[in-house]
Structure 1
Amino acid sequence: MAKTKNRPGYHCTECGWTSARWVGRCGECQTWGSVVDDAAPKLQQVQSQVPQAKAMPIGQVSARAAMRAKTGVGELDRVLGDGLVPGAVVLLAGEPGVGKSTLLLEVAARWAKAGRRTLYVSGEESAAQVRLRAGRTDALADELYLAAETDLGTVLGHIEETQPSLMVLDSVQTVGTAEADGSPGGPSQVREVTGALVRVAKRRGMAVMIVGHVTKDGAIAGPRLLEHLVDVVLAFEGDKHSGFRMVRATKNRFGPADEVGCFEMGENGIVEVPDPSGLFTSRHDEAVSGTCVTVTMEGKRPLLAELQALVAPSNLQAPRRTTHGIESSRMAMVLAVIERRAGIKLYNCDVYASTVGGARVHDPAADLAIAVAVASAATNQAVDRSTIVLGEVGLAGELRRVPGTERRLAEAARLGFTEAVVPPESSQDRAGGREQKHGMTLHRVTNIGNALGVLNLLPAKPNRGGRHESSSDAGSDRPVLHTIG
């Protein structure tokens, strides 16, 4: 749509396309955010100025001003990279009710108990409500200052008055300023508030921790620029029906971005879980069919995970496939491989699979554990409780090695496991071989049929002479197909 001479219009800065009204996306080149007002003032040429501080060789810059300080919460320090860097801005995002405010109030209290002044600004609760929660979780400290404000100018005034070394803002979507368009929580307001906090943090060397909301899809609410402005982005994950919580770094300018911290939400607040492996396994007096233990990797941390499966005959035309904590697509693929490559028929059975403790397993190394749990439930044969399995399952039934195998095995050995079924580390490894490592007996298998054969989960097949033999009798790498029922 072309514009007239006497009528205000808009044009695309990329291709020159014109429109009588503003649109977010160019109708010609499909570029987002390139349509601008013709009447907008043109940018003048910027004059150079004398810098206040001269540039200097990077080797001569002192790093003392960026020395890390412990927050007092060990699991959070682990994710941050061993503490908070002065002047760093951290964004903590998570679903409503997951415990973001509780965690940051605990961080603020421990920071203040170490003799460092802290400012906690709440835009969602009154000062009395925060004080009530602090009394319940034992988060009271003399150096912890509290303010309930929703105006950016007032918040900056509190910073100048108290001069804290750490400020917590709960949350960025509730604070607004008259200098930006829109209402609090809008893209312009969030961008202006975050930008102002970043500037004051860098200028004063003050660490800032910001609570952010998420959308119904789980993405951080607000413009994408919000994640670019801050130094660290943390995702606070957890199931409302489970006390387990996990903090995961998705961006970290000062440390690794693949670490996770584990917490547990209780009646008296949130507590650290330095050794969370026991949360995802159950205790049985004797081996039970349909259960299998594996070791997943959350960042660099190995965690034990128990997978449980139940297989039952179905009278439905389309049998149920129900999962909890496991990706349904991954489950469907594993079931197809079991049926086609291992000969265990499941097309007329309902299959239920779940993790213990509310864990969410996304690691491909858990594929073999899913297959073993389903096969154990289908054959009603239990897997020894001292055995773990590791391996990614391919569509051809082959087992692929997984990263971090040594670390996974060391963690399993530390917790008392004595046997492991794992894929070969390389093509030179002997299939079906056994070796001792980390005080464990390792069974090297190349495909899913061999793995189920080692664990005695393949049903016996009668031969012509009436004798029952299993796939392990053949001594071949290729699994023998069996039929159930």
Structure 2
Amino acid sequence: MAKQKTAFVCTDCGSDYVKWQGQCGDCGAWNTLTEIKLGPEKGSGRAGAQVRGKLAGFTGTLDSARVLKDINLEDLPRFSSGAEEFDRVLGGGLVPGSAILIGGNPGAGKSTLLLQTMCHLACTMEALYITGEESLQQIAMRAQRLQLPTDKLRLMSETNVEAIVGAAQELKPKVLVVDSIQVVHTDEITSAPGSVSQVRECAAYLIRYAKQTGMVLLLVGHVTKDGSLAGPKVLEHMIDCSILLDGSDDARFRTLRGQKNRFGAVNELGIFAMTEQGMREVKNPSAIFLDRGSEPASGSAVMVVWEGTRPLLVEIQALVDDSQLGNPRRVAVGLEQNRLAMLLAVLHRHGGLQVGDQDVFANVVGGVKVLETSADLALLLAIVSSYRDRIIPSDMIIFGEVGLSGEIRPVPNGQERLAEAAKHGFKRAIVPKGNAPKRPIVGMEITAVSKLADALAALD
């Protein structure tokens, strides 16, 4: 009788072990290892010996093996999802046979975005929406509230993966949505829905069917308290595209960011606005994030960040105030906390500005999370502006990376950043010397700096 193979997988990081242990050796978490069944061993015993004997005497050629240069490099047959911002994050549209995982906090708008997309696609192709957490009446009420076309999309309330694939085989949809993968289960595994074994086996079953039939599979994943995808951490190597929809409950704008994409660029950003009619695309996000007050104030600077394949103008604000505590506070919203502390040390050492006894607060307006280092110079100048109570001109753009020795390093795509700033009416710019344009930009005065002291002098 074939022996059942088992493994122990960490629910936090996805690392697997041959036996159970109290602590995960990779992430250090305690009591997170759960047992999963991998199925019976194949190729063992007398039958396995016969197969190995046949393979040992095999002298033929493999027809399935092809030379790399003979493979046809035609464009992937993408089709649009109906939203340009969604297509941008996907790399240009949906690819047949791809598996896409969409995560986000509760209330971020995952179901709303997918329902709008599926209603649009159902007008031109067969589409199936599987809901395991909401009733069909709830989905219908949302579609009616959003004024979506409801005469083509097929809905189904099901949590059994075998029943879902059976329905897909009968209806043959081009696009399938499963909301969510945490509630789907298979009868072959005895563990509860949402466990590592259930999530991985159900997702593998659905992905295998999508690859064989060329169907686009959209999976919805939950997010834990620390912001990571619950359970689907083990799915990152199985899926083709991982997307995170971010945005707080009280924020009007939602950011859709690609974390993994086999068919396009990573870290591409799409901007949506949550309205009464659902998720609406923001065609010009720079104009939205630059909606500044009529009265200029100190501690405010405009920077150009590069998100995926396009520049984005955002405002960064800083507030420096006397600390009432023994340990001054360092708070960064939309920025990395440790990088703020490092830049304050550089400002003290190479800028001659001591803020060790001051509370420093930094915020990126609009809820955007800045992940690149081009915001270093703008952040430091905003801090200096708040500390000295001097207003940075409203028509000035700032970007550049600051090194530990006080040097201003160039950043990628400097020409495109300046062109985007000029298009929005900015007349002055402080940029790294390595990003100074070879040809002057009409209507823009550019100050190229190589040291932090030069940037502070240009601000005065």
Q: In the aligned structure 1, how far is the partner of 2:339 from the partner of 2:71?
A: 50
Q: Which residue of 2 aligns with 1:154?
A: 163
State, as a whole percentage, how many aligned pairs show the same letter.
41
| 1:312 maps to which of 309, 315, 321 | 321
Q: What residue is the counterpart of 2:399 in the other structure?
A: 390
Query: How far apart in 2 are the matches of 1:300 and 1:64?
Result: 23
Contact 1:305 1:356 in 2 (8 A): yes
For residues 254-311 of structure 1, give each alpha carbon's deviation from its aligned partner in whole angstroms, at most 9, with x where no partner exists.
Answer: 2222422111112221111121112322423343211111111122221112111222
User: Which amino acid in structure 1 is aligned with residue 81 of structure 2?
Assistant: T
Equivalent in the alignment of 2:108: 98
1:103-135 per-residue CA deviation (whole Å, 9 max, x = no partner) reads 11111011112x211100000001011111111
What is the CA-CA distance between 1:183 and the residue it aligns to?
1.4
Q: CA deviation at 1:216?
A: 2.3
1:56-105 CA-partner distances (Å, limit 9, x unpaired): 66677667895111111111111112111111111111222211111111
| SS of the residue 2:225 aligns to | coil
Partner of 2:450 in structure 1?
A: 446
Within 5 Å, give how 1:30-179 maps onto structure 2. 43-44=43-44, 45=48, 46=51, 66-113=76-123, 115-179=124-188
Distance 1:258 1:53 in 2: 39
Q: Any conservation in 1 of the 2:221–2:232 contact (CA below 8 Å)?
A: no
Question: For the Cα contact (< 8 Å) 1:302–1:408, is it kept in 2?
Answer: yes
Which letter maps to 1:441? Answer: E
What residue is the counterpart of 2:15 in the other structure? none
| 1:436-475 aligned within 5 A | 436-437=440-441, 439-456=443-460
Provide, for residues 439-472 of structure 1, a one-character-per-residue CA deviation record: whole Å limited to 9, x for no partner: 421101111111111111xxxxxxxxxxxxxxxx
2:286 corresponds to 1:290:
no
Q: 1:315-336: per-residue Cα shift (whole Å, max 9, x none)?
A: 4333333332222222222222
1:215 aligns with 2:219: no
Report the alpha carbon displacement of residue 196 of structure 1 after superposing the two structures with TM: 1.5
- Could you tell me whether the CA contact under 8 Å between 1:409 and 1:438 is conserved in 2? no
Secondary structure at 2:122 match in 1: helix
Aligned to 1:341, which of 337, 350, 373? 350
Counterpart AA for 2:459: L
Letter in 1 for 2:352: G
Aligned equivalents of 1:242, 1:218: Cα separation in 2: 17
Relative distance call for 1:317 and 1:72 in structure 2 (3 A) is same
Q: Given that residues 435 and 441 in structure 1 are in contact (C-alpha distance below 8 angstroms), is that contact kept between their aligned partners in structure 2?
A: no
What code does the residue aligned with 2:236 have?
E
**Coordinate RMSD, CA, aligned:** 3.4
1:201-241, CA deviations, whole angstroms, 9 ceiling, x for partnerless residues?
12222111111112222222225441222221112222333
Change beyond 3 A, Cα 1:43–1:26: farther
Instruction: Say whether the 8 Å CA contact 2:300–2:315 is kept in structure 1.
Output: yes
Distance (Å, rounded) in 2 between the aligned partners of 1:36 and 1:281: 51
Paired residue for 2:412, among 403, 421, 428? 403
Output the CA distance in 1 between the equivalents of 2:22 and 2:328.
48
1:202 partnered with 2:211: yes
Residue 268 (structure 1) aligned with residue 277 (structure 2) = yes
Partners of 2:244 and 2:113 lie apart in 1 by 12
Structure 1 stretches lacking a partner, 5+ long: 1-7, 13-21, 457-485
Q: Distance in 1 between matches of 2:69 and 2:405?
A: 54
For residue 437 of structure 1, give the secondary structure of its aligned residue in structure 2: coil
Matching residue of 2:14: none
Q: TM-score, normalised by structure 1?
A: 0.80
- Whether contact under 8 Å (1:290, 1:377) holds in the other structure is yes
Q: Does 1:329 align with 2:338?
A: yes
- In structure 1, the residue corresponding to 2:340 is in which secondary structure? helix
Higher Cα radius of gyration: 1
Q: Which moved more, 1:289-298 or 1:54-63?
A: 54-63
Q: Are 1:410 and 1:438, in contact at CA under 8 Å, matched by a contact in 2?
A: no
Contact persistence 2:136–2:156 (CA under 8 A):
yes
Once the 2 structures are TM-superposed, how far is the Cα of residue 171 of structure 1 from its aligned partner? 0.6
Q: Determine the C-alpha separation between the residues in 2 that align with 1:283 and 1:213.
A: 35
Give 5+ residue unaligned stretches, structure 2.
Answer: 8-17, 27-31
1:280–1:358 CA contact under 8 A, matched in 2:
no
Q: Find the residue that maps to 1:339 and give its secondary structure.
A: helix
Which portions of structure 1, spanning 4 or more consecutive aligned residues, are displaced by more than 4 angstroms? Answer: 46-66
Cα distance in 1 for partners of 2:169, 2:100 equals: 20
Give yes or no for contact 1:181–1:188 (8 Å, CA) kept in 2.
Answer: no
CA distance in 2, matches of 1:133, 1:11: 43
Moved more, 174-183 or 44-53: 44-53
User: Would the aligned equivalents of 1:387 and 1:418 in 2 still touch at CA under 8 Å?
Assistant: yes
